[in-house]
Copies of this chain bind each other. A is one copy, B any other.
């Protein structure tokens, strides 16, 4: 069976299990919250302005504006907007951000087709699961070569979510996947620019577009995923076929990681490890030693950050922030001023970072030495199972921090009760007070 055949069959899954759907609901709350919070980022404003200028059939809503746009455009705007703060969920095995690529495609097509809330959430889950599988199939070599799985694998997942909601048949779904194979794109070289969130928007838009055209009986190369000159062959895919084992039975989406801190995901194990020891008298700290997976040494190890954005990629300053009692879950904390705060800088200079092969990318180990000689040894593994309740509580707390408690709670009630996509959109399209 080709990958397109496997995925097309998966798109017709009769109904994902409750636990996977419950995790999708948490991701959906998270996605809505970070999208609303990101609605006034420059990339969001640029895309919204372009969408309003192009106008068109009012098929689906956009963050930050009550006007609707064609589904493809809405998916693009919402994908980029929800990734603008880089505060959305991550799947480490997929090596990317599934929700920002897939949920916008599912939501836009759900609005277009008038799907129920339950149908929308199922499609989003199936698309996200597919994108994770494709990301694993493409593998680390694809990422190292310079491709951004969020954009590439994400487009396949977005296509599948859209295909399900459009009720495409098996042949049409394969054609949609064949078409998106010649359309999916996205480079890591955009990291640090608006091009990064744009990659998520492109993935979402590509999925909607491919599914809509396939629904009109567009003929593509149905074997363009793994065939000769296909997506994998041209994009350094590892073609790890085990990636599709248990598709439809096991839900890798359940192991998605949510961000509780508004900074690089590579810092999160360290920040979580600090939790149990807080609050701590900073003046009493004489030394902080952090061990992390070697990969992070080149990703988020800016020793002396000069801007708030750089601070989000600094082990030393972020540790100092958290030890000083700052709420690192609040994006506003990462202002340029923190890079000039004398007390923070003094603490930052007591922090040492070391690579440690014995740790996974999801783990961090710390030793905090106090003046009296006392040492706190701390450890956290992001991969350790967390109860659904605990995850839900933390994401609700995050949403509350971003949106205020009234809005966050209403949003969560809507999601939990499978509110219709249109109803959900009324919360997302509220304009900011600009």
A residues whose Cβ falls under 8 Å from a Cβ of B: 42-43, 46-47, 49-50, 53-57, 59, 70, 72-73, 145-148, 151, 178-179, 181-190, 192-195, 198-199, 202, 212-213, 216-221, 223-224, 227-231, 233-236
- Sorted from nearest, which 4 A-B pairs have the closest CB atoms? A56-B56, A146-B229, A54-B70, A185-B185
| Chain B residues within an 8 Å CB radius of A229 | 145-146, 187-189
Is A220 in contact with B234, judged by CB distance below 8 angstroms?
Answer: no
Q: How far is the CB of A190 from chain B (nearest CB, A)?
A: 5
| Chain B residues within an 8 Å CB radius of A192 | 221
Q: Which of A182, A218, A236 has the most CB of B within 10 A?
A: A182
CA gap between A70 and B72 in the complex, in Å: 13
Given that A218-B194, A219-B193, A221-B192 are known contacts, is A147 also in contact with B178, CB under 8 Å in the complex? no
| Chain B residues within an 8 Å CB radius of A42 | 217, 219
Q: Of all chain B residues, which has the CB nearest A188?
A: B229
| Chain B residues within an 8 Å CB radius of A47 | 213
Given that A183-B202, A202-B182 are known contacts, is A145 also in contact with B220, CB under 8 Å in the complex? no
Q: Select one of B54, B146, B195, B230 contacting A187, CB under 8 A.
A: B230
Given that A146-B234, A195-B182, A233-B146 are known contacts, is A221 also in contact with B54, CB under 8 Å in the complex? no
| Chain B residues within an 8 Å CB radius of A148 | 182
| Chain B residues within an 8 Å CB radius of A223 | 189
CA gap between A43 and B182 in the complex, in Å: 15
Is A195 in contact with B220, judged by CB distance below 8 angstroms?
Answer: yes
Is B57 in contact with A189, judged by CB distance below 8 angstroms?
Answer: no
Q: Which of A72, A147, A151, A185 has the most CB of B within 10 A?
A: A185
| Chain B residues within an 8 Å CB radius of A49 | 216
Q: Of all chain B residues, which has the CB nearest A234?
A: B146
CA gap between A233 and B183 in the complex, in Å: 18
Is B70 in contact with A187, judged by CB distance below 8 angstroms?
Answer: no
Q: Which of A72, A147, A189 has the most CB of B within 10 A?
A: A189
Q: Of all chain B residues, which has the CB nearest A59?
A: B54
Q: Which of A43, A72, A194, A228 has the most CB of B within 10 A?
A: A194
Is A221 in contact with B195, judged by CB distance below 8 angstroms?
Answer: yes
CA gap between A42 and B181 in the complex, in Å: 20
CA gap between A145 and B145 in the complex, in Å: 15
Q: How far is the CB of A280 from chain B (nearest CB, A)?
A: 39
CA gap between A194 and B210 in the complex, in Å: 12
Given that A185-B183, A219-B193 are known contacts, is A72 also in contact with B54, CB under 8 Å in the complex? yes
Is A224 in contact with B182, judged by CB distance below 8 angstroms?
Answer: no
| Chain B residues within an 8 Å CB radius of A216 | 46, 49-50
| Chain B residues within an 8 Å CB radius of A182 | 148, 151, 185-187, 189-190, 195, 198-199, 202
Is B189 in contact with A224, judged by CB distance below 8 angstroms?
Answer: yes
Q: Of all chain B residues, which has the CB nearest A53?
A: B57
